[in-house]
Structure 1
Amino acid sequence: MVVQLVLASASPARLATLRSAGLAPRVQVSSVDEPATIAALEAGGTRLGPAEHALALARTKRDDVAESLVPEAGSTKTPTLVLGCDSVLEFGGEVHGKPETASVAVERWRRMRGGEGVLHSGHAITDLATGRQVSRTASTVVHFADLSDAEIDAYVATGEPLWVAGGFTVDGLGGAFVIGIEGDYHNVVGVSLPLLRELLLELGIGWWDLERAV
């Protein structure tokens, strides 16, 4: 059995991680409005901690893409899984997503330098063939270097930290500023390969069943 994996994420780092593991995922980006989704959940009385925040967005992205891919009755197409992911950094008890602006990125780094945070990545999968769903969050402690103001300004000027969770990467330009992690490295990049394997097993699907790069 060969199972197709659809990644409901625009993250090039997640795609690269899956490809480096030998997989051949198809990408279909969700149309989810992340701030509106969280606002709607909290308006309904749901109090989201950082880990729940990441998982809620991962589930919403998964469901958005899965609804557009529901197979027709009697379809004999390759079995398909939809994987939704989302990451946030928990620092000082607060949720840090993408800074989006240079001023926010600089302010965050001035608080984070020399400290540690927890990177939470929500993972949510739907098996379109059976309708079964599984989801879980992986969390990794990240230790940051004690950067100078000049180093922070130069890093933010590259533009990289503006559009990544927490305002940093471990696999890119920000790698020099992460002095240690406790947990799964790939989770900090954006998708935990060990957790993905465990979720697949809960669905009765083996790691080697996933469609692989030729």
Structure 2
Amino acid sequence: MYSKLLLGLVLTISALTASATTTISGTKDYGGATVGTSCDGQSESQQPVFVLKDGAVLKNVVLKAGAAADGVHCLGSCTIQGVKWADVCEDAATMKGGSGKTMNVVGGSAYKASDKVFQHNGIGSTIKISGFAADTIGKLYRSCGNCSSNGGPRKVSISSTKLANVSASVVGVNSNFGDVATIRTLQIKGYKSGSPKVCVEYKGVQKGSEPTSLGEKWNTTACNVSKTDVTSY
């Protein structure tokens, strides 16, 4: 009996302090366990905690504060369900899947993302976010503004989502690449028009240059959102 308790303790510690990326195929339900690797601030060279192969489902895991690295990488279509980031390191999750692939984010939450929560790199793919909550973030979502061989379109849909303390904007999309953000039933704590900006259009560029902001937009092809879709709480 003692040996079983000791084994359980060892497994718990390893789950909290694992140093290597975990690759997931199929469905993996962590049952609320906390997992982490490391965090090197906003370094874009650090590895993710999880890599999700095409069709993978990641459920019910907490990414440890100070150890969330580059979060979750989705290589194809994937589902991220009930996942919580106790403290975002670089990005919470990055969509790398290509044309026709979808990353579904269902429920879950993120806290303290100095830049963005969701990074969208895969050209021709979609991110769907529903029932999510985030607090103390720069942006909820950004379509890559200066990736290598950059282009589009990239699409994002956001619904039934609740945000607080957004310092920059909710989403950023590259209108010149055909990106589209569709936003419905979004709640923002203390929201007033323009604070924060909800959907900002950019002119996307290639790696080595910086994208240009075209400002907050409403009811455009790229920013499919009306002011009635956003409420304060």
TM-score, normalisation: structure 2: 0.24
TM-score, normalisation: structure 1: 0.26
Higher strand share goes to which structure? Answer: 2
Higher helix share goes to which structure? Answer: 1
